[in-house]
Amino acid sequence: MKDTLKVLFVASESMPFVKTGGLADVAHTLPKTLAALGHDVRVMIPRHARIKAEHGDELETVASTWIPLGWRQKYLGIEKLRSGGVTYYFIDNEDYFGDKIYRGGNEENEQYLYFCKAVCESLSLIDFEPDVLHLNDWHTGMIPYLMKTRYNALLGREIPILFTIHNIEYQGKMGFTFMQDLLDIPDFYNTPEYLEADGCVNMMKSALVFADRISTVSPSYANELMDAWAGRGLEGIISARRADVTGILNGIDTEDFDPQNDALITAPFSADDLTGKRSNKKALRDEFSLSTTLTTPIVAMVSRLTEQKGISLVQYVLEELLCCEDVAFIMLGAGDPQFEGFFDYIAAKYPDTSGVYIGYNEQLAHRIYAGADFLLMPSEFEPCGLSQMIAQRYGTLPIVRETGGLIDTVESYNEFTGQGTGFSFLTYNAQDMLEAIRRALRVYRDKPVLRRLKKSAMAVDHSFLKAARQYEELYETMTKGLYG
């Protein structure tokens, strides 16, 4: 076994407490897996209102103090809870963290500038001296700057920092004076060399400049980020730091998502015995009052409704699909009101063959993964993507666009070799997506091939162990790199 490492994992959300997307899954599963490997990994997130409401009695107070935020004094509470072998620290300030995890605009910028400052202040208040700080996405983006310019010196030691990009689309941009007013940053840093990008300052960029190492959540996305179309203006700094950038493919929580042992689904099943999958399909069909037979394939989506997820492509051709093919469509998602409205329209116009749930529903997500035949994920870009891996684990074949982590996790069906774990298309184009769906529907009618693909998909190892080993390796080189 490797030396025990002490890692503080910092993020804006984490399961099993709060989740709006895949980041919360990773913030839960990676620390849990590293803890099982013998490391002392602790997670620090804001204490959002739900956490107090659901776990208030279990929280232990670690510190209660006031910290400077520019000219202000702001309250900082730190609370602690152990869950699944991992210690969680919660940053408490009810001005900043209440019902809304992300308030949008400058209110959100202020929430997370405070969070960055609070995390740095916490390092001298908690009973834990991390060997590595593992930061995630722009909400933690000013921590490397604060550590390098002030807090390492105050602590009397340099803590190596890994910054992981989960999605570069969201960068935490704001005017320099807004940030300066909260964090007292000298004018000197308002330059392209440091924080400035496109006339404003940018928390993600700051992390990319000041962190010791950078990782992202799939090898393909790591390469894509060096191109302008994916780098979203930060491709220059990422290319310049190419030697420090690593792509580590996420996994999923194979205990939470286990078709043989999932209390949220109608019947258990496995690759060797798929009869239970049929019961799940029937239950799903009944839940959405579809009037299709069990032989009609169900194509489903479980997704944030944003442009990134390729919803525009679905908008273009969904009616053509529903009108021309023997197929049912189920969508679970929330997001852009324009997309929500479109799916409401579909549900009203095609009640027999479509089912739509607008909102966030963890339990329903499990029932959909278990009961559907195909999962559609035509993302414009996808850093890693978890839904396609979960779907594969439940024998639901993904239909994806070849981008980012979708390339690294879905082997497109090859009709000559008979191999594959799903279907894919390359160009971001609605007709190409429709053709990929039609290919999947043709295979659906070829039972031996369908069965083989389901078995292959279910056999893929999506556990977090491989990723955890790679992070372990990376942390070790970081600690050795800086100390000796």
What is each CA distance from 396 to 301, 392, 410, 436, 464, in whole angstroms?
A: 11, 5, 12, 15, 20
Q: Which 3 state secondary structure label does DSSP give 92? A: strand
Q: How far is the CB of 382 from ligand ADP (least distance, A)?
A: 7
Smallest Cα–Cα separation from 302: which of 393, 224, 386, 230?
386
Per rule CB under 6 A, is residue 302 in the interface with ligand ADP?
Answer: yes
Task: Give, for 287, the enclosing helix (H) or strand (E).
Answer: helix 275-287
Indicate the residue type of 105: G
Per rule CB under 6 A, is residue 334 in the interface with ligand ADP?
Answer: yes
Per rule CB under 6 A, is residue 403 in the interface with ligand ADP?
Answer: no
Minimal CB distance residue for ligand ADP:
22
Instruction: Find the binder of ligand ADP among 22, 46, 160, 395 (CB under 6 A).
Output: 22
Pick the piece of the chain touching ligand ADP (CB under 6 A) from 75-83, 95-103, 201-209, 359-367.
Answer: 359-367
Per rule CB under 6 A, is residue 387 in the interface with ligand ADP?
Answer: yes
Pick the piece of the chain touching ligand ADP (CB under 6 A) from 27-35, 156-164, 381-389, 458-466.
Answer: 381-389
Kindly write down the DSSP assignment for every residue of 156-194, as one continuous string. TSPPPEEEEES-TT---EE-HHHHHHHH---GGG-STTT
Indicate the residue type of 426: L
Smallest Cα–Cα separation from 8: which of 167, 101, 143?
143
Buried b (16+ CB within 10 A) or exposed e, 191-203: eeebbbbeebbbb
> At which residue do the structure tokens 């803590």 appear?
159
The number of residues in the chain equals: 484
Q: How far is the CB of 463 from ligand ADP (least distance, A)?
A: 15
If the CB atoms of residues 182 and 346 are measured against ligand ADP, the closer one turns out to be 346
If the CB atoms of residues 144 and 404 are measured against ligand ADP, the closer one turns out to be 404
Pick the piece of the chain touching ligand ADP (CB under 6 A) from 69-77, 235-243, 320-328, 358-366.
Answer: 358-366
- 94: β partners: none
Per rule CB under 6 A, is residue 161 in the interface with ligand ADP?
Answer: no
Scan residues 239-258 and list those touching ligand ADP (CB under 6 A): none
If the CB atoms of residues 34 and 386 are measured against ligand ADP, the closer one turns out to be 386
| Total chain residues near ligand ADP (CB under 6 A) | 18
If the CB atoms of residues 304 and 452 are measured against ligand ADP, the closer one turns out to be 304
Per rule CB under 6 A, is residue 102 in the interface with ligand ADP?
Answer: no
Q: Which residues contact 30 (CB under 8 A, 6 or more apart)?
A: 9, 41, 464, 467, 468, 471
Buried b (16+ CB within 10 A) or exposed e, 409-438: bbbbbeeeeeebbbbbbeebebeebbebbe
If the CB atoms of residues 265 and 365 are measured against ligand ADP, the closer one turns out to be 365
Instruction: Find the binder of ligand ADP among 193, 362, 415, 473 (CB under 6 A).
Output: 362
Per rule CB under 6 A, is residue 360 in the interface with ligand ADP?
Answer: yes
| Residues forming the site for ligand ADP (CB under 6 A) | 21-22, 25, 302-304, 332-334, 360-362, 365, 384-387, 390
